[in-house]
């Protein structure tokens, strides 16, 4: 644990695999930059790996004021213990006030381990981050300039703002696509600090025997049109309707967590707080009631069509076009109308 | 919700978290194949005894309920501290947990426990491949495919829902353990069965009932924070760095919205509109 350090930087962990930076880390930098400006401190980016020195400059172009670069052969592949040790040491040396991680599989493996070692708080899957003040109780002390960690809460349509006012750094993870990708600026200048790494192979409990890379089956973030199905679609067979409409529109099929848990479609298609956040030109919600966790992932779509047989479904209040009816009738009619246009 | 924005767990049923069932299944399979003993540890209100009973039905050898008022309002950091104190008492070779809980979805408690236990961790395990010598080999999902990794023991593994199909309760085991109870459950049941009895009588009756269960091997272990030698500074509200600043109900902003007739004409005119404004290319 480190104390409250008002001069501490705002940090982002820049995840990379095989020399390629993950989008989530870069996206986080745009938000972190805003937070750093509000706090009047620098944006620090932590980069860990092997043979990654050239990425330091890339991160400066994306907005880093300082890049902490840990380059060592034993850091070539992500490993919980080695990465935790490097970042834990860095946190204790430089005492950042905020540390942000992408909520990727790696980020969700690493951030809690570091938080535990540091005895600091960590909020998972934030959908927004802001700077604000908090008063502990009516007459309690006012804590200024805290990180507001905003996330949909347990049950119901509730948004919780979480804070950590004493055991720093303030740590949070953010899902892919929640923040906008910054535009690189080749004229930017920043400082790159190379970190001395002391690691021994026999201290690491893990050995990677085989690795198989397989890209996601669908790139929802890049799709202009998304047709998403929920539990209301009813069955895997019936989910064919969602695929057919997506194909007719040249879009991608998405799904709610409930539909995925029911086995209607692969997890790569999940839209929402714990899936991908999307902002397509058109989002068609088929048989989706609209839990807040799902809304968090699609509410910024330019146009939303909601098809539901329940006139009380929350998703309808987000929709530009509300269609109250049986999806088994409505979706085939839509496919027909789309095909007719030519 | 409680007034301070924490969850009022007493108002919720104690359920077996789905991915924890996958973890239990993996533990039982390890036992069947390589031997060993399966102990289930849970932290919660007395009602969580049900989860331990279900574990016994499915094949666990032993269970412990960690329950203590002073553990209330624990965030993931404090929860992992308390759980790791309890787990340490067993000195296990392998600790299995579900990847994440279905309420908060944070996936934090597993890695935080591993750190506190000083163990290596393998998260998102899809398959346990081998267990020999002093290491475990497993396949884990990486988000970009998978990895096969070997981890020195002791190790903590978090298990995903695709890893296996959890077995159902065995009939014989169900008959054997259906009356297994934690002391806290015995106290609640004794009180319900003896309405109007005074505290001293209730205490005595509870103790007698517990002793009877114990003699039959049906008294489930129940520990408080003192018994696991937890430092209270790291438990409950004091041990939780994250606090709730505020809770807001979401007020949905009414957008410019149209109701569309679900008939063919209504749909056709909507699609036409979307083509005209170039939403559909």
A74: β partners: none
State yes or no: pLDDT of B264 exceeds 90.
Answer: yes
Cβ contact, residue pair B250, A292, below 8 Å: yes
Following CA atoms B104, B107, B111, B116 in sequence, which dihedral angle do they give, to the nearest 10 degrees? 10
Cβ contact, residue pair B150, A214, below 8 Å: no
State yes or no: pLDDT of A190 exceeds 60.
Answer: yes
Q: Which residues of B touch A224 (CB under 8 A)?
A: 281
pLDDT tens sequence across A16-57: 999 999 999 999 999 999 999 999 999 999 999 999 999 999
Check if the beta carbon of residue B237 is closer than 8 Å to that of residue B73. Answer: yes
In a domain, A2, yes or no: no
Q: Is B235 on the interface with A (CB under 8 A)?
A: no
Cβ contact, residue pair A108, B107, below 8 Å: yes
In a domain, B224, yes or no: yes
Q: Which residues of B touch A341 (CB under 8 A)?
A: 271-272, 275, 280
Q: Which residues of B touch A109 (CB under 8 A)?
A: 111, 121, 123-124
What pLDDT sits at residue A1? 76
Following CA atoms A32, A37, A39, A44 in sequence, which dihedral angle do they give, to the nearest 10 degrees? 50
Q: Which of A161 and B248 is assigned the larger pLDDT?
A: A161
Using alpha carbons, select from A235, A237, A258, A239 the residue that is nearest to residue A247: A239
Q: What is the CATH number of the domain that holds B110?
A: 3.40.50.620
Cβ contact, residue pair B248, A105, below 8 Å: no
Check if the beta carbon of residue B143 is closer than 8 Å to that of residue B123. Answer: no
In a domain, A214, yes or no: no
Whether residues A175 and A265 share a domain: the answer is no
In a domain, A213, yes or no: no
Q: Which of B4 and B71 is assigned the larger pLDDT?
A: B71
What pLDDT sits at residue B15? 87
In a domain, B4, yes or no: no
Q: What is the CATH number of the domain that holds A230?
A: 3.40.50.1220
Mean pLDDT over the full length of chain A: 94
In a domain, A215, yes or no: no
**Best residue of B142, B249, B253 to probe chain A, by most A CBs closer than 10 Å:** B142
In a domain, B97, yes or no: yes
Q: Which residues of A touch B123 (CB under 8 A)?
A: 80, 105, 108-109
ipTM: 0.91
In a domain, B140, yes or no: yes
Residue where one domain finishes, among candidates A152, A174, A203 = A203
Using alpha carbons, select from A85, B19, A215, B158 the residue that is nearest to residue B149: B158
Whether residues A279 and A199 share a domain: the answer is no
Smallest Cβ–Cβ distance between B108 and the set A112, A295, A302 belongs to A112
Using alpha carbons, select from A267, A271, A259, A292 the residue that is nearest to residue A223: A271
**Best residue of B274, B275, B276, B281 to probe chain A, by most A CBs closer than 10 Å:** B274
For B23, half-sphere exposure in the C-beta direction (CA atoms, 13 angstrom radius) is 25
Q: Which residues of B touch A270 (CB under 8 A)?
A: none
Q: How many CB pairs under 8 A join A and B?
A: 234
Check if the beta carbon of residue A191 is closer than 8 Å to that of residue B36. Answer: no
Q: What angle do CA B237, B242, B243 make, to 5 degrees?
A: 70
Question: Into how many domains does chain A fold?
Answer: 2
Whether residues A40 and A183 share a domain: the answer is yes
State yes or no: pLDDT of B1 exceeds 80.
Answer: no
**Best residue of A116, A247, A304 to probe chain B, by most B CBs closer than 10 Å:** A116
Q: What is the CATH number of the domain that holds A72?
A: 3.40.50.620
- The Cα A228–Cα A315 span in angstroms is 12
What pLDDT sits at residue B112? 98
What pLDDT sits at residue B253? 58
In the stretch 250-289 of chain A, residues with CB closer than 8 A to chain B read 250, 273-274, 281-282
For residue B8, name the pLDDT band (cuts at 50, 70, 90).
confident
What pLDDT sits at residue A221? 87
Whether residues A277 and A138 share a domain: the answer is no
Whether residues A22 and A121 share a domain: the answer is yes
* Gyration radius (Cα) of chain A, Å: 22
- The Cα B131–Cα B128 span in angstroms is 8
State yes or no: pLDDT of B144 exceeds 90.
Answer: no
Whether residues A145 and A241 share a domain: the answer is no
Stretch A234-260: mean pLDDT, rounded? 95
pLDDT tens sequence across A49-105: 999 999 999 999 999 999 999 999 999 999 999 999 999 999 999 999 999 999 999
State yes or no: pLDDT of A241 exceeds 90.
Answer: yes
Smallest Cβ–Cβ distance between B257 and the set A113, A250, A319 belongs to A319
Whether residues A25 and A131 share a domain: the answer is yes
In a domain, A100, yes or no: yes
Cβ contact, residue pair B274, A122, below 8 Å: no
Question: Into how many domains does chain B fold?
Answer: 1
What pLDDT sits at residue B252? 58
pLDDT tens sequence across B195-234: 899 999 999 999 999 999 999 999 999 999 999 999 999 9
In a domain, B199, yes or no: no
- The Cα B79–Cα B7 span in angstroms is 14
Which helix (H) or strand (E) is A193 found in, with range?
strand A191-194
In a domain, B110, yes or no: yes
CA distance A147 to chain B (A): 10
Stretch A270-274: mean pLDDT, rounded? 90
State yes or no: pLDDT of B56 exceeds 80.
Answer: yes
Stretch A219-240: mean pLDDT, rounded? 94
Name the pTM for this structure. 0.88
Alpha-helix runs per DSSP H in A95-203: 105-118
Range of the domain at A251: 220-340
Q: Is A132 on the interface with B (CB under 8 A)?
A: yes
State yes or no: pLDDT of A342 exceeds 60.
Answer: no
> What one-character DSSP code corresponds to residue A224?
S
> What one-character DSSP code corresponds to residue B51?
H
DSSP string, A120-147: --EEEEESEEEEEEEESSSSSPEEEEEE
What pLDDT sits at residue B255? 61
Range of the domain at B111: 9-182+220-234
Q: Which of A77 and A175 is assigned the larger pLDDT?
A: A77
For A276, half-sphere exposure in the C-beta direction (CA atoms, 13 angstrom radius) is 24
In a domain, A101, yes or no: yes
Residue where one domain finishes, among candidates A203, A231, A264 = A203
In a domain, B273, yes or no: no
């Amino acid at each position: 644990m480190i104390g409250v350090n008002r001069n501490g930087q705002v940090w982002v962990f820049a995840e990379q695999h095989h020399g390629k930076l993950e989008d989530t880390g870069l996206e986080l930098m745009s938000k972190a930059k805003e937070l750093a400006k509000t706090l009047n401190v620098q944006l620090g980016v932590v980069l860990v790996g092997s043979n990654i020195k050239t990425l330091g400059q890339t991160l400066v172009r994306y907005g880093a004021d300082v890049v902490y670069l840990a380059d060592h052969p034993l850091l070539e592949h992500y490993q919980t213990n080695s990465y935790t040790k490097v970042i834990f040491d860095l946190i204790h040396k430089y005492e950042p006030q905020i540390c942000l991680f992408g909520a990727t599989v790696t980020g969700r493996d690493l951030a809690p381990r570091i938080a535990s070692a540091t005895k600091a708080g960590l909020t998972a899957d934030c959908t927004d981050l802001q700077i604000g003040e908090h008063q502990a109780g009516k007459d309690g002390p006012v804590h200024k300039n805290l990180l507001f960690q905003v996330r949909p809460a347990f049950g119901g349509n509730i948004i919780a703002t979480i804070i950590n006012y004493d055991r720093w750094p303030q740590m949070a993870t953010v899902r892919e696509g929640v923040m906008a990708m910054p535009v690189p600026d080749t004229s930017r200048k920043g400082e790159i600090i190379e970190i001395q790494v002391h690691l021994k192979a026999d201290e690491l409990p893990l050995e990677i025997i085989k690795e198989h890379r397989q890209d996601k089956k669908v790139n929802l973030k890049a799709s202009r049109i998304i047709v998403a199905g929920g539990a209301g679609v009813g069955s895997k067979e019936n989910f064919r309707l969602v695929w057919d409409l997506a194909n007719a529109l040249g879009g991608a099929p998405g799904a709610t967590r409930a539909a995925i848990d029911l086995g209607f479609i692969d997890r790569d298609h999940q839209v929402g707080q714990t899936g991908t956040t999307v902002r397509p030109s058109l989002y068609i919600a088929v048989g989706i009631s609209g839990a807040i966790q799902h809304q968090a992932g699609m509410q910024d779509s330019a146009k939303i069509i909601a098809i539901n047989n329940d006139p009380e479904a929350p998703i309808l209040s987000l929709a530009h076009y509300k269609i109250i009816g049986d999806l088994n009738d409505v979706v085939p009619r839509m496919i027909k109308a789309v095909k007719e246009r030519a | 919700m409680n007034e301070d924005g924490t969850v009022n767990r007493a108002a919720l049923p104690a359920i077996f978290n789905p991915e924890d069932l996958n973890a239990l299944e993996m533990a039982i399979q390890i036992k069947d194949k390589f031997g060993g003993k399966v102990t289930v540890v849970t932290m919660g209100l007395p009602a969580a005894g049900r989860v331990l009973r279900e574990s016994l039905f499915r094949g666990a050898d032993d269970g412990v309920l960690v329950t203590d008022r002073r553990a209330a309002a624990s965030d993931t950091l404090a929860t992992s501290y308390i759980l790791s104190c309890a787990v340490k008492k067993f000195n296990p070779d392998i600790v299995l947990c579900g990847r994440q809980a279905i309420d908060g979805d944070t996936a934090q408690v597993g890695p935080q426990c591993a750190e506190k236990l000083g163990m290596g961790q393998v998260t998102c395990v899809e398959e346990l491949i081998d267990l020999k010598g002093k290491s475990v080999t497993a396949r884990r999902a990486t988000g970009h495919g998978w990895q096969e990794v070997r981890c020195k023991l002791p190790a903590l593994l978090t298990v995903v829902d695709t890893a296996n199909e959890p077995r159902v309760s065995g009939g014989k085991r169900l008959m054997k353990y259906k009356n297994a109870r934690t002391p806290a459950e015995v106290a609640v049941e004794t009180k319900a069965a003896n309405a109007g009895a005074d505290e001293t009588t209730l205490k005595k009756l509870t103790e007698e009932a517990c002793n009877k269960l114990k003699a039959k091997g049906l008294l489930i272990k129940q520990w408080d924070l003192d018994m696991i030698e937890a430092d209270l500074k790291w438990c409950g509200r004091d041990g939780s760095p994250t606090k709730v600043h505020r809770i807001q109900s979401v007020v949905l902003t009414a957008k410019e919205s149209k109701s569309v007739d679900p008939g063919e004409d209504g749909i056709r005119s909507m699609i036409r509109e979307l083509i005209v404004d170039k939403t559909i290319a």
